Amino acid sequence: MLAKRIIPCLDIRNGQTVKGINFVDIKEVGDPVELAAKYAADGADELCFLDITATHEGRKTFVELVKRIAAHINIPFTVGGGISELGDAEKLLAAGADKISINSSAVRNPKLIDDLALNFGSQFVVVAVDARGDENEHWTVTVNGGRIPTDKELFSWAKEAEDRGAGEILFTSMNHDGTKNGFANKELSKMADMLKIPIIASGGAGAEEHFVDVFTKGKADAGLAASIFHYNEIPIPVLKKYLKDKGIVVR
Amino acid sequence: MNIVIIKYNAGNIESVNNALNRLGVNAEITADPDKIRKADKVIFPGVGEASTTMAYLRENKLDELIVSLKQPVLGICLGLQLMCSHSEENDTECLGIFDEKVKRFIPKPGEEYITKVPHMGWNAIQDLKSDLFTADLENEYVYFVHSYYAEKSEHTIATCNYILPFSAALHRDNFYATQFHPEKSGTIGAKILENFLKL
């Protein structure tokens, strides 16, 4: 059986791992390669690195970092942040990234998904979708960390991304992100019934049982989280054992 | 030991080089027929599309070269598929080292949800045979990313189950191939690469 994946996500600024809450009080806390190696040794199934650097120099540093990650880490990893054209993706592929994640740039220019899939294969293209639901359960796609609403609706956008050649959807519910009350299982499940590509769930992880729910009720293929792993609230080996005991297939 | 990774128009070749470096082995990435012929071990990796990569191999006469190699050769992922006789991916005639055919996974509606294509992630390998695998690797998880698979056959030396049982690895004479990515399969993948280097 295909195992459910656990994916720690690392935010990177100027080549360093950073930790912060809602972009406030961001602190640089060390070498991403060291942290990534620890997660890989702990049993993480994949890793995700998001570049939150704004400057040109910082972007170059990120590409150098991706090379170091590729040299040291023996599991697949996705990189994202600031990829808006084929050339950006090509640099990251050449540096050794297994997949790239695009978000705002895909919303602005959906054809980017087609171009990336055509040039590098669907397996290389993760489309990240941040969305917020209102009281009528209408889910609006947002950009810039959930701050700016767009005219796109979550489910139709996810389907469009699949049709254009996305290999995976990384869905973050802005309603759940940071709450630690569990993932958006209802929406994830609806999406899983609609799409033929794997779905990575993000936003809301706070306890071991949230991962059981996201894989059963939410029908997700992978669960992504940041703070619970960074602050060692749930060590990966503990989480994996818990999932196994609950009958979830994990490696 | 002289290890060569065949350079062609497919992705992820550098990842294999990185994995060998982590084992303390230096490899050369090259398309030079002489260097490939003289190598102790040849690795034929790849991520990409079957018809364009086969066309490239033919244009550069790498197709005849690969088929004629006598030393241990390891195909990885697309490498395995190109070593088969035919791929359904754009109806491509392949190298024919293995007479198996490569087919596309058909998504399967299940009780809980649709089984997705591509087959992406960690899955267990079973019924292991040949020197590429040691007994302790039975049922271990390795990393797969693919939409096409080689059928099971007499050359199957590892089986994986996804939608149906398929060949996770093949072996005939000096040719070995894995559908999964040993270079991305953590310590288990590293062991499999080491086993290949010991052949």
The residue from B77, B84, B94, B160 that is catalytic is: B77
pLDDT at B12: 78
| Residue whose tokens read 């995976």 | A168
pLDDT at A24: 57
DSSP chain B: --EEEE--S-B-HHHHHHHHHHTT--EEEE--HHHHHH-SEEEE--BS-HHHHHHHHHHTTHHHHHHH--S-EEEETHHHHHHSSEETTTTEE---SS-PEEEEPPPB--SSSPBPSSEEEEEE-BS--STT--GGGTT-EEEEEESEEEPP-TTEEEEEEESEEEEEEEEETTEEEESS-GGGSHHHHHHHHHHHHH-
Rounded Cα distance, A63 and A43, in Å: 25
Is the distance from CB of B87 to CB of B146 less than 8 angstroms? no
Distance of alpha carbon A7 from alpha carbon A48, whole angstroms: 7
Instruction: State yes or no: is A130 an active-site residue.
Output: yes
Q: Which residues of A touch B119 (CB under 8 A)?
A: 2
Q: pLDDT confidence of A113, banded at 50, 70, 90?
A: very high
Task: Examine the pLDDT at B135 and tell me if it is beyond 90.
Answer: yes
The answer to whether B181 is a known catalytic residue is: yes
What's the pLDDT score for residue A21? 56
pLDDT at A14: 86
pLDDT reading at B23 higher than 70 = yes
pLDDT interval class at B112 (50, 70, 90):
low
Query: Contact B91/B54 with Cβ under 8 angstroms?
Result: no
Interface test with A, best of B22, B49, B113, B142 (most A CBs within 10 A): B113
For residue B72, whether the previous peptide bond is cis, meaning omega lies within 30 degrees of 0, is no
CA–CA gap between residue B12 and residue A228 (Å, rounded): 31
CATH architecture of B3-90+100-198: 3-Layer(aba) Sandwich (3.40)
Q: Which of A:112-131 have CB within 8 Å of B? A: 120-124
The full set of domain ranges for chain B reads: 3-90+100-198
Beta strands in A41-82 (DSSP E): 47-51, 77-80
A209-234, pLDDT tens digit by residue?
A: 999 999 999 999 999 999 899 888 99
Chain B within 8 Å of A213 (Cβ-Cβ)?
no
Among candidates B19, B124, B184 on the partner chain, residue whose Cβ is nearest the Cβ of A98: B184
Q: Which of A76, A167, A196 is closest, CB to CB, to B143?
A: A76
Predicted pLDDT at A25: 63
Q: Is A184 helix (H, G, I), strand (E, B) or coil?
A: coil
B152 against A52, higher pLDDT: B152
Question: Token match 């990185």: residue?
Answer: B18
Q: Mean pLDDT of all residues in chain B?
A: 94
C-alpha B158/C-alpha B152 separation (Å) is 9
Among the partner residues A3, A74, A198, nearest to B116 by beta-carbon distance: A198
- B160 among known catalytic residues: no
Please give the pLDDT value at position A62: 92
* Domains of chain A in sequence order: 5-245 (3.20.20.70)
Are residues A72 and B122, on separate chains, in Cβ contact within 8 Å? no
Which of B119, B146, B155, B181 is catalytic? The answer is B181
Model confidence at B158: pLDDT above 80:
yes
